[in-house]
Amino acid sequence: MKSLYIGLICFLLVSACKSENSKTVITPETTLKEIKIEPTIARKIANAHGFENWKNVKKVAFTLKVDRDKIKGSGRSWQWFPKKDSVVMMAGAQHIKFTRSNLDSVPPNADRNFINDKFWAFVPFQLVWDASATITTPKKAIAPISNDQLNMITILYPNQGGYTPGDAYDIFYDNAFLIKEWTFRKANATKPTLSTTFENYKDYNGIKIATDHKMKGGNWNLNFADVSITLQK
C-alpha cells in the first residue's frame, strides 16, 4: 500500500472551437467561473465519497478488523490527525504515537500498518492523493464478485518506492462513481491476489466509508468499527 499526497493545481485553460462559419475564443478576460473544467475520473470518484469535505477534517478514528468464518478479529485502532499527520496506533499491547515526518524511532510495523489500514478506509481519496500512481482510462468490465457490468479503472504504482512497489488495483464503480468492488494484483500480476466488495457505506460528517469488504462466499470480511470523523470548529 502507498501513501503519497497531491496538492490541487489551479490553471487557466485557453481553447478555441472552430467551425466553417464561426470561431469562438476564450480570452484572458474570461473569468474562471465561465470556464468549466471537467474533473478527472479520479476526482469524480473521490468527490462521490465526500472528498470536498476532507479539507475540514481535524481527526479520524477507526478500528480495522478482519473476521473469518465465525472468528472475530481483535483489530487495530487508529487516531489520525491529518493536518499534523500525527498518528496513534492501538493494537494489542502496542500503544504507539508518532508523526509520519519522523519515523526514526517508530517500530517498522506501525507506519506500514497505518498505510495499509488508511488505504482500505480511504481508497477513493488515494486516487487523488497518490501523485506517482498511473490511472487508466475508464472502461466497462465485469466485476469479480457480483458479476455485474460496472465501470473500471486501474491504479498502478511505480516499481520503486513505498512499501509494496509495482502493485495494481482494479477499481469497479457504478454510474454514481461509488466504488462497489476492487481487485488487488500484487506486483501487477495478471491473476488477482484479492478481490472484495465495498458495501455498507456510512456517512461520517460528509465522508462516505464502505465499512464492509467481503470476499466471494462471505466467509471473510475486512470491516471498520468505531469510526468517527471530527471536523474543525
The whole-angstrom separation of Cα 226 and Cα 60 is: 10
pTM: 0.82
Query: Could you tell me what percent of the chain has a pLDDT over 70?
Result: 85
Q: Which residue has the higher pLDDT, 15 or 38?
A: 38
184-229 pLDDT tens trace? 999 999 999 999 999 999 999 999 999 999 999 889 999 999 999 9
**Highest-confidence segment of 7-16, 45-54, 152-161, 215-224:** 45-54
Q: Is pLDDT of 52 > 60? A: yes
The whole-angstrom separation of Cα 131 and Cα 137 is: 16
Give residue limits of the domains in the chain. Answer: 16-231
Quote the strand ranges of the chain, DSSP E.
Answer: 16-18, 23-25, 57-68, 76-81, 86-91, 94-99, 134-135, 139-142, 149-156, 168-173, 179-185, 194-197, 199-204, 207-214, 220-231
Q: Which fold has domain 16-231?
A: outer membrane lipoprotein receptor (LolB), chain A (2.50.20)
14 burial via Cβ count (<10 Å: 0-12, 13-18, 19+):
exposed
Q: Is pLDDT of 161 > 60? A: yes
The pairing of strands 139-142 and 168-173 is unpaired
Task: Write the CB contacts of 147 (distance below 8 Å, at least 6 apart in sequence).
Answer: none
Structural contact between residues 27 and 51, judged by C-beta atoms closer than 8 angstroms: no
Q: Is pLDDT of 159 > 50? A: yes
Q: Which residue has the higher pLDDT, 10 or 138?
A: 138
* pLDDT on residue 33: 54
